[in-house]
Structure 1
């Protein structure tokens, strides 16, 4: 695992847990980490991390709209 050192102003009232969670949420949002990997990085269970994603305005459904539309079309064709 890589170690990253970030210097933040003392005026920011953030714990290392807050920073890890924010980073994990962002990495999940851009598709660099799976939900499980992001939850591990943040130090939470998957279910807890899923609940916390809303605090960062990140959807738990990390799914592109065009992919969803294609899947719906495939499902319609399959069951027709």
Structure 2
């Protein structure tokens, strides 16, 4: 895994940034749901609950994606 160091404005927490990054990468199909949750430092359940607050959807673009997520859950 790579490490990136960035400076954040005071009004953005590291946790918030990780959730946003994980959610965006999940929606772009660059990470699985589990990988995105790991990136955010959360369990899958906690990550899913937080995703909605940030406007992300856990559902993929296709039925196949949804079925794969259900199978892996």
Short-chain TM bin: 0.7 to 0.9
> 51, 67, 70: which is aligned to 2:49?
51
Point out where structure 2 has 5 or more consecutive residues left out of the alignment.
65-73
Verify: 1:27 aligned to 2:25, yes or no.
Answer: yes
- Which residue number corresponds to residue 42 of structure 1? 40
Structure 1 residue ranges (4+ consecutive) displaced by more than 4 angstroms after TM superposition: none
CA distance in 2, matches of 1:41, 1:55: 17
TM-score by length of structure 2 reads 0.76
- Which residue number corresponds to residue 8 of structure 2? 8
CA distance in 1, matches of 2:28, 2:51: 13
Quote the offset at 1:7 in angstroms. 2.6
TM-score by length of structure 1 reads 0.70
